[in-house]
Amino acid sequence: MRIPILVLAVLALLLAACGGGQQSSTPEPSPEAAAPETPAAPAAEPVNWEVGQPVDVSGTLGCAHCSYHLTESCAAAVQSADGSYMILDADQESELFTKRYDKATVNIKGTIAEAGDPPKVHVESYDFGS
């Protein structure tokens, strides 16, 4: 009879050492929760664009629909360093349209074709690079 009592005593000690099978009321923080938040890009100051106004902008080429969620259909767009967007009047055969998923840096020169938010730019020239 000594062995069963000894076994029960050892099991009771193990159970007590493990917390009695109860979980802690304070959960362990996940690595994602412990990581500091990355601040969002600062909002760009609104610009009152006028049709025909010259534009000289550099930024990241992307899809106005798929990447930037600005339009109902796919179009080439550029996001500048200040966080503002411009829709480019590039047709579907143009290099700006076909490379819109490459996240390339592009320099755009043109004029405002539609002064909306975001404005649409008539592209007169462009180059890829820094």
Q: What pLDDT, on the 0 to 100 scale, is given for residue 37?
A: 45
Distance CA 42, CA 129 (A): 24
- Please give the backbone phi and psi of residue 122, each rounded to the nearest 5 degrees, phi first: -80, 110
Could you tell me if residue 65 is inside a domain?
Answer: yes
Could you tell me if residue 82 is inside a domain?
Answer: yes
Total domain count for the chain? 1
Q: What pLDDT, on the 0 to 100 scale, is given for residue 129?
A: 80
Q: What pLDDT, on the 0 to 100 scale, is given for residue 30?
A: 45
Could you tell me which residues come within 8 angstroms of residue 112 by beta carbon, excluding any fewer than 6 positions away?
A: 49, 50, 51, 52, 53, 55, 119, 120, 121, 122
Q: What pLDDT, on the 0 to 100 scale, is given for residue 35?
A: 40
Could you tell me if residue 43 is inside a domain?
Answer: no
Domain membership of residue 62 as a residue range: 54-128
Tell whether pTM > 0.75. Answer: no
Helix (H) or strand (E) holding 124: strand 120-128
Low-confidence ranges of the chain (pLDDT < 70): 1-4, 6-8, 10-11, 13-46, 130
| CATH number reported for the structural domain that contains residue 100 in this entry | 2.40.50
